[in-house]
Chain A
């Protein structure tokens, strides 16, 4: 009798632990469809969205500010860009959010027709390190960063690092690379940059949210990478700007396309967008990478984060509320970005995007 019970427990334990991870996806779609209960003040339709975790702090501020102003409640679940895209494709959410633009293949699978990309704010990836001997700011160019993360540069006093940092005392320590182990928009932006500036990287790991890393350790989340870097002398890793700022991590100044070494700041990231946007054609769909952007002040490892919406909004009420919200976000909303360590869009781009909202067809006619 006792033995049977033990066996039941053993098997149940194994099964539940196995079943747990893949089961997540179904529970997510359940919760998103429900949405928050409508408040008495509005009587209006709530919007639901899902996607990227990176802009989540800003988006939640936007949604609460917007609810306070208009009474319209928006429910956003930061389940990751991949999950957001999948839910938008299925039509279980009203909008998606992603740190990486959707591919043509992904767009083709959307059940509700063409999807429009609207940049909302800018993010940046910073390179952080732990070398107790280095006290001055460290300068690195793209190919050097690429070779460090490829494992080709293995010592902190490598000639190529020294050449860019005259006057900085570099120790003969081994370099230990720390990268993200979980699929992440941060990894996407970082690898997108390295693909742009380092041919060896482009033909090797390439661009993606998960990569085949040639060297290093994987940490889970920004905190996993930063934790490992803080604890281990000789490490180098990458995290998103907001995380590095809030935790006061040392950051590398990266050489941009104009040849100057630029520290990641709100201004230098917005400058990157401004430089990149000038070159965009008027008909752009905004699925563009702005890494290694032109401009003397541009920080090169920057990227848009996007809201994803269907061009044809089947539900006229919801569609109108969505467009109204986006207009508010792209104008008044941008003002609260910098306080949360997000770089706002350049003003010219914001104006262009507000005009573009008119291309969203609201209503049943299509």
Chain B
């Protein structure tokens, strides 16, 4: 009879007071809870393991070259000397170029689709933009070699170099061969565009209708409504989309390797070839036999890992600040 006095399930308010945690006595619940906990723990554990493996494998190179590994431009496998500065520089610069080009474009696409597009146009355009994300990286690379680079070499680069003031800046100097930081940045821009635009579109669509109506009711124009009421409301979500794109750009390997020219140099000119960390690993890992060479490549992997973590931490902080401001 004691069973009858104890309820099968008890609910009590949780710490925040907003919801309730349900304590059940069923065995299934316990199993379920621990299973999902284990799943959730898998991801951080995997991350820790990868970091440990990379660190251990990179240790000989770190010991040999120390901090100079990050600042030296001398990558000379035949003579056992390694410095990754050009690859670090190239990774960051190509990703920044991609973001600078892709963000306004993607935001434009998202705003058009959520605010202006008639419903018969919205679905097909959104589908086509999303389709860009499904194209394999190597196809982008081939398209880059056979279409983008000739265009850049014949028209875009001479045009940029011939511009009145901008053309004389160090950004647009030197011969235009095709393979360059610019072409790598452009292909990355196209590749990350669907990520940013898909996320931005979703958050813009999620902006409450009352937000728009309130702005319009105050006499705001369509432009003012979008710029002052809709986009700020969705700001943190849009930044999240940009970060998703940036993560993709930092790690992208194949298309960049095919277009960047793979030269260990730091040049201010966007016409000059460069290197990225992901390309360096992809290029040299298969044939690296020397222990120090392998270790140096692992160290490059470690640096790439660290750069992406730092960039993500920064972005996370940015979103946190933006959303706090919005609330205040």
Contact = CB atoms under 8 A, between A and B. Distances in A.
Interface string B162-203: 000000000000010111000000000000000000010011
B240 interface: yes
Contact of A228 (B47, B179, B288): B179
Nearest to A174: B175
B280 to A, nearest CB: 9
Interface stretch (B16-24, B107-115, B208-216, B242-250): B242-250
A208 to B, nearest CB: 3
B236 A212 contact: no
Nearest to B261: A217
B281 A21 contact: yes
A24 interface: yes
Interface residues of A, number: 56
Nearest to A232: B177
Given A11-B312, A17-B251, A17-B278, A217 B262 contact: yes
Contacts of B281: 21-22
Interface string A1-40: 0110011011111111111111011000000000000000
B228 interface: no
Given A6-B241, A210-B284, A18 B308 contact: yes
A21 B286 contact: no
Contacts, number: 169
Interface in B279-328: 279, 281-289, 293, 297-298, 301, 304-305, 308-309, 312, 315-316, 319
A10 B247 contact: yes
Contacts of A10: 240, 243-244, 247, 312, 315
A14 B319 CA distance: 18
Nearest to A217: B261
| Contact-residue bracket for chain B | 35 or more
A24 B285 contact: yes
A183 interface: yes
A218 interface: yes
A83 interface: yes
Contacts of B77: 183, 208-212
B42 interface: no
Contacts of A106: 289
A13 B309 CA distance: 12
A127 interface: no
A22 B237 contact: no
B284 A217 contact: no
Interface in B219-269: 236-237, 240-241, 243-244, 247-248, 250-253, 257-258, 261-264
Contact of A183 (B243, B288, B308): B288
B111 to A, nearest CB: 18
Contact of B286 (A7, A17, A80, A176): A80
Query: Chain B interface secondary structure, helix, strand, loop or mixed?
Result: helix
A82 B288 contact: yes
A181 B177 contact: no
A320 interface: no
B289 A82 contact: yes
Given A15-B47, A17-B251, A18-B305, A6 B240 contact: yes
A86 B289 contact: yes
A7 B240 contact: yes
A181 B253 contact: no
A218 B261 contact: yes
Contact of B145 (A7, A184, A227): A227
A13 B253 contact: no
Contact of B287 (A103, A184, A191, A227): A184
Interface string B137-176: 0000000011001100100000000000000000000010
A55 to B, nearest CB: 15
7 cross-chain pairs, A with B, having the tightest CB-CB distances, nearest first: A17-B251, A183-B287, A218-B262, A181-B262, A208-B78, A14-B247, A80-B286
Interface of A: 2-3, 6-7, 9-22, 24-25, 79-83, 85-86, 103, 106, 174, 176, 181-185, 191, 205-213, 216-220, 224, 227-228, 231-232
11 contacts: A17-B247, A21-B278, A24-B285, A106-B289, A206-B79, A210-B284, A212-B78, A217-B273, A227-B146, A231-B150, A232-B178
